[in-house]
Amino acid sequence: MINLETPRKLAPLAKQASQVASEVFRPISRKYDRAEHEYPKELDMFAALMDGKDAGAGNAGAGAAGVRRKDKADEESNRNGSNMATVLGVIELCYGDVGLTLTLPRQGLGNSAIASVANDEQLQRFAGKWAAMAITEPEAGSDSASIRTTAVLDGDEYVLNGEKIYVTSGSRAELIVVWASLDPSKGRAAIKSFVVPRDTPGMILERLEHKLGIRASDTANFRLEDCRIPKENLLGSPEIDTEKSFAGAMQTFDNTRPLVAGMAVGLARACIDETRKRLDEAGVTVDYTRPANVQHAAAARLLALEADYEAALLLTLQAAWMADNSKPNSLQASMAKAKAGRSCVDIALGCVELCGSVGYGEDSLLEKWARDAKILDIFEGTQQIQLLVVARQLLGKSSAELR
Ligand SMILES: Cc1cc2nc3c(=O)[nH]c(=O)nc-3n(C[C@H](O)[C@H](O)[C@H](O)COP(=O)(O)OP(=O)(O)OC[C@H]3O[C@@H](n4cnc5c(N)ncnc54)[C@H](O)[C@@H]3O)c2cc1C
């Protein structure tokens, strides 16, 4: 059964991440919000420290871990593994800054994909490299099954052609995990992921996006033009299995959606703590021993926002715990992402509202967090797509039956 306290063995990790959030991220948060596209060099030293820690902790880092489903948990025992570690770490780091968390070297979503599905030889070859994830295309966002990038086998190499947009860490990562189709006539079953070193000829960086929030994180657009990679860079099986193939690729989301939910939880808690402090300074103290309806209206509103935060946190922990214990968690991963994504936006805007002009001005980070929040309800599947996945699961419908 799930235990809701922070597991003892993961407490030091959460504490370290919390220290990084307050001592490394917060002081440079505004600087890199203003200096969009400038690389936060302060992160290099921290990333080196994390590499050392990961090596010692069996991949229980604060950022990109993967889930290798063959690592079956003992049926009888409870296990808190890399998913719980990653989620707890990410919650703390995003308490500091979401954009900086997203730009931590070697902690990209591509690293999660590699850690989850690469074979032993690939794990060794790509070890220590920073990997971004490129699924989205101009004509394929929410409907990732409709991607048009192709991968054609030519001798010992795959030749990739297509366009990829909105790649987080695309200009900074060393590897890009690209989703492409082996045969567009075979539909979603032919979609596979390929590890493309960013400096491969034909992998052309077109531009960086200017964004509403998470400005410390770079977002890149690529064109792939006869981009050749060794055939050993395909992740998973090259077979086109109409039963399982796309489900395999989609399984990555079961691991990454709780992670994004964790980011939203961290940001939401930052907003709540800052607002509680500001309200306190203004003479409105939240009393946790009394019902909300007998308190100051501002305190009652903050309590309501905190209830949403708690719900998002619990769903996120559940989804991560299930992944660690080899329980199918697609439903819970989407529930967590939907609840946390929407709640963090509501909470951030609610906190700006509660703090009035203080919340809206640049003297506090609340206005930045309100801008940073929205992406967490968009990437790794929008709010609407998460609800669609939840509905399909609950009603037992396929993606063709409920779209
Ligand atoms: C800052 C940023 C970073 C990103 N990083 C990455 C990354 O690293 N890798 C990557 O591959 N992608 C990344 N993305 C892309 C992101 O995952 C997509 O933007 C997202 O999946 C939505 O796709 P779309 O923008 O094409 O919107 P669309 O799919 O066109 O959707 C537009 C609207 O329609 C709704 N909608 C779509 N289909 C349905 C439906 N069936 N039912 C109900 N509503 C629906 C959506 O919810 C949304 O509100 C990033 C995006 C941003 C903005």
Burial degree of 252 (CB within 10 A; 0-12, 13-18, 19+): buried
What's the average model confidence in pLDDT over 143-163? 96
Q: Which residue's alpha carbon is nearest to atom 45 within ligand 1?
A: 384
What spacing in Å lies between the alpha carbon of 382 and ligand 1's midpoint? 6
What spacing in Å lies between the alpha carbon of 379 and ligand 1's midpoint? 6
pLDDT of residue 208: 98
> How does residue 388 score in pLDDT terms, banded at 50, 70 and 90?
very high
What spacing in Å lies between the alpha carbon of 384 and ligand 1's midpoint? 10
What's the average model confidence in pLDDT over 272-296? 97
pLDDT of residue 1: 64
Q: What is the pLDDT of residues 179-224, one digit of tens each?
A: 999 999 988 889 999 999 999 999 999 999 999 999 999 999 999 9
State which H helix or E strand residue 22 sits in: none
Nearest to 177 by CA among 190, 187, 167: 167
> How does residue 76 score in pLDDT terms, banded at 50, 70 and 90?
low
Ligand 1 atom with minimal separation from the 169 CA: 8
Q: What is the pLDDT of residues 350-359, one digit of tens each?
A: 999 999 999 9
Q: Which domains can be identified in the chain, with CATH numbers?
A: 8-125 (1.10.540), 131-235 (2.40.110.10), 245-395 (1.20.140.10)
pLDDT of residue 62: 38
- For the chain, the average pLDDT equals 91
Nearest to 107 by CA among 125, 140, 82: 82
- The one-letter amino acid code at 132 reads A
% the chain with pLDDT above 90:
75
**Is any atom of ligand 1 closer than 6 Å to the C-beta of 374?**
no
How far apart, in whole angstroms, are the C-alpha atoms of residue 99 and residue 170? 14
Q: Where are the beta strands (DSSP E) in 198-352?
A: 203-208, 219-230, 234-235
The two tokens of residue 257 are 């959606």
Contact status, residue 347 vs residue 305, Cβ threshold 8 Å: yes
Q: What is the pLDDT of residues 290-307, one digit of tens each?
A: 999 999 999 999 999 999
**Is any atom of ligand 1 closer than 6 Å to the C-beta of 98?**
no
Ligand 1 atom with minimal separation from the 209 CA: 1
